Amino acid sequence: MILDAVLARIDETLPQSIDRLMELLRIPSISTDPAYRADCARAADWLVKDLESLGFSARAAATPGHPMVVGHGGEGGRHILFYGHYDVQPVDPLDLWDRPPFDPEVQQTPKGRVIRARGASDDKGQLMTFVEACRAWKAVHGALPGKLTIFLEGEEESGSPSLIPFMRDNAAELTAGLALICDTSMVSPGVPSIAGQLRGMLKEEFTLHGPRIDLHSGHYGGPALNPLREIARIIASFHDDRGRVAVEGFYDGVHEVPEALKRQWESCGFDEKDYLESVGFTRPHGEAGYSTLEQQWARPTLEINGLWGGYQGAGSKTVIPAEAHCKITCRLVGDMDPADLRRKLRAHVEARLPQDARITWDGHLDGAPAAVMDTSRPEFEAARQALSDEWQREAVIVGMGGSIPIARYFKDILGMDAMLIGFANDDDAIHSPNEKYDVASFHKGIRSWARILARIA
Ligand SMILES: [Zn+2]
């Protein structure tokens, strides 16, 4: 059996695979800090060399920011692109790390062996699962499993400023039949997960203006319009008392979760009690009538992220402030249209303005619709079977509460569907001190890609 030989090779050479990951982890490729620019370039070059050793023709393509690594290799079958990122988050606060963040170490913990270093999980360990699967395949067969493009970004942790222009300029060579993305976690430890939907995002910020200047609350208190009172009234009108957003038309484009998918989610091993209790809740506080997972993955939200105005210093000040401010973000699902939603949200606020008050809308014009994967593609079922075989646990198609813009860009710019499969765990401490990646995630992640490639490449 071809696959069995590849899996055996992966098991035998795991120590060398870990050594190579450690080498990459020693390079402090912090993309947001200009002091590490040369290190980002060094990480890109390291990856180019490694891909070349597997027979890829690879390059570190210069951008105004950090280089993009692009490698092409193999032939035959369906053209598949793999995406990951080699840059990492800053390490501060450094004193909370148990060891230097760029001096990786394999450690024994009560939950098993882990690789401890910045980037171990997000995303160097994850991206190397795919590279190592290719290496084992190549070693056993002398060739890659099919036509593959590997695309590794160096600016994911700093807002991806070069990504869209680079994708546009290099669309022809980056467009494949399907994109695989390895930058997500499993819904619970040991439960292999494929992300079927990611929520989108809309940002707004506004100022409610009242009197021309701050007023004395004795001279004007009573006759004066108080912007803080008015903004509180408007914000209170955003939700009804069952947690539903009361902005007219807010739910246009939102679809109910199909029963079959709901059942999959119910049996995916998600620990609701732990999820809630870990942050001090005894029950979910979202829309009544929806489960905690639905509220997190499949329902839209309107959140107040900041609210301020008036006197904030020590003691008291008898003031009626001239302005009050508010920051809002919405998480979008289904076919909700950010531009349309922005109009509805603004109309809701403006319809509730009292006489003598006015609103200015302050920036944040970006918005992105939700990314809903085409899970009816045969590759999703093939990957689900491959993952179930490897983990001996039914793989699930999950939702994600957050947003991963790259999936959307692949669709919008390159017309390419994406499949997001990751092996991280929620306790990996990504972006935090003492980041780790389980050796089991790394090992079984490599084996998972070998199994998936055997079915879809
Ligand atoms: Zn990441």
For ligand 1, the distance from its centroid to the CA atom of residue 348, given in whole angstroms, is: 36
For ligand 1, the distance from its centroid to the CA atom of residue 326, given in whole angstroms, is: 30
For ligand 1, the distance from its centroid to the CA atom of residue 182, given in whole angstroms, is: 8
pLDDT of residue 368: 86
For ligand 1, the distance from its centroid to the CA atom of residue 127, given in whole angstroms, is: 10
Contact, 23 vs 35, CB < 8 A?
no
Where the chain has pLDDT below 50, the residues are: none
For ligand 1, the distance from its centroid to the CA atom of residue 425, given in whole angstroms, is: 13
281: CB partners within 8 A, 6+ apart: none
For ligand 1, the distance from its centroid to the CA atom of residue 252, given in whole angstroms, is: 31
For ligand 1, the distance from its centroid to the CA atom of residue 407, given in whole angstroms, is: 13
For ligand 1, the distance from its centroid to the CA atom of residue 159, given in whole angstroms, is: 11
pLDDT of residue 393: 94
Point out which residues pair with 47 in neighbouring strands: none
For ligand 1, the distance from its centroid to the CA atom of residue 183, given in whole angstroms, is: 5
**Integer angstrom CA distances of residue 391 from 138, 207, 395, 447, 451:** 23, 52, 8, 10, 11
**Integer angstrom CA distances of residue 226 from 220, 230, 319, 362, 432:** 10, 6, 10, 20, 41
pLDDT of residue 260: 87
pLDDT of residue 367: 84
pLDDT of residue 264: 87
For ligand 1, the distance from its centroid to the CA atom of residue 123, given in whole angstroms, is: 5
Long-range (24+ apart) CB contacts under 8 A made by 142-146 are: 143/55, 143/74, 144/54, 144/55, 144/56, 144/73, 144/74, 145/74, 145/77, 145/453, 145/454, 145/457, 146/74, 146/75, 146/76, 146/77, 146/78, 146/79, 146/80, 146/453, 146/457
The alpha carbon dihedral of 143, 145, 146, 149 has a sign of negative
**Chain-centre distance of CA 205, in angstroms?**
23
For ligand 1, the distance from its centroid to the CA atom of residue 327, given in whole angstroms, is: 26
Q: CA 20 to CA 102: how far, in whole Å?
A: 14
Q: For residue 228, which of 214, 218, 246 has the smallest C-alpha distance?
A: 214
Q: For residue 163, which of 439, 440, 412 has the smallest C-alpha distance?
A: 412
For ligand 1, the distance from its centroid to the CA atom of residue 400, given in whole angstroms, is: 14
Q: List phi, psi (to 5°) of 82.
A: -115, 135
pLDDT of residue 3: 96
For ligand 1, the distance from its centroid to the CA atom of residue 324, given in whole angstroms, is: 36
For ligand 1, the distance from its centroid to the CA atom of residue 32, given in whole angstroms, is: 14
376: CB partners within 8 A, 6+ apart: none
List strand residue ranges (DSSP E) for 103-187, in order: 105-109, 112-116, 148-153, 178-181
For ligand 1, the distance from its centroid to the CA atom of residue 122, given in whole angstroms, is: 5
